[in-house]
Amino acid sequence: MKRIKLILITMLFTVSTVASSAEAKFNFVKGQRAQQDIVRDAQSKGPEIVAMLQLKPNMQVLDILGGGGYYSELLSESVGKNGRVYLHNNQAYMPWVEKELVARLKDNRLENVIRWDKETDNLALGKQQYDAIVFVLGVITICITVPRIGVLIRMTFSSNFIIR
């Protein structure tokens, strides 16, 4: 249980540093990208990461723990108006990302983005089929105990995962 809390705290710290830099002011206008997102492109390489997916119009994409929606917005452009992006977040992320998320999606600004608030252990995906599942800027900690030796191997890394 202590490891799970540590993992969660590590993940929340990463989310809070990303979200706090974008929290200053949200200036989202329908039909155009926000200036703060364009500035962020230089550091986050969002357009380049999304281009690697080679998404096509009408595709269905799940953005796991998508935070304030920076990558979801880029994904939505790639799948077009008839595609769908499911922007997933859990309750643990909300204190850091909800203001940006609400501002980004206000007045149905991104018509093909569906807010998908679910806990990660119960995504309730049902029989939905996705053309791509994306997990960007996540911190992962893997702990493995080797039974015979009793050694605990722990690896923590930050990475981008794309399942296609």
- Give the pLDDT band of residue 136 (cuts 50, 70, 90): confident
Look at the block and give the residue holding tokens 């252990």: 121
- Domain interval for residue 48: 2-135
Residue 122 domain-assigned (yes or no): yes
Residue 91 domain-assigned (yes or no): yes
Residue 107 domain-assigned (yes or no): yes
Assess whether pLDDT exceeds 50 at residue 79.
yes
Residue 118 domain-assigned (yes or no): yes
Buried b / exposed e along 117-151 (16+ C-beta atoms within 10 A)? eeeeeeeeeeeeebbbbbbbbbeeeeeeeeeeeee
Residue 35 domain-assigned (yes or no): yes
Q: How many domains does the chain have?
A: 1
- Tell me if 138 sits within 8 A of 65, measured CB to CB: yes
pLDDT tens readout for residues 18-28: 444 444 467 78
Residue 127 domain-assigned (yes or no): yes
Residue 46 domain-assigned (yes or no): yes
Task: Say how many C-beta atoms besides its own lie within 10 A of residue 114's C-beta.
Answer: 16
- DSSP three-state, residue 126: coil
Distance CA 44, CA 19 (A): 13
pLDDT of residue 122: 85
For the domain that residue 106 is a member of, what is the CATH number?
3.40.50
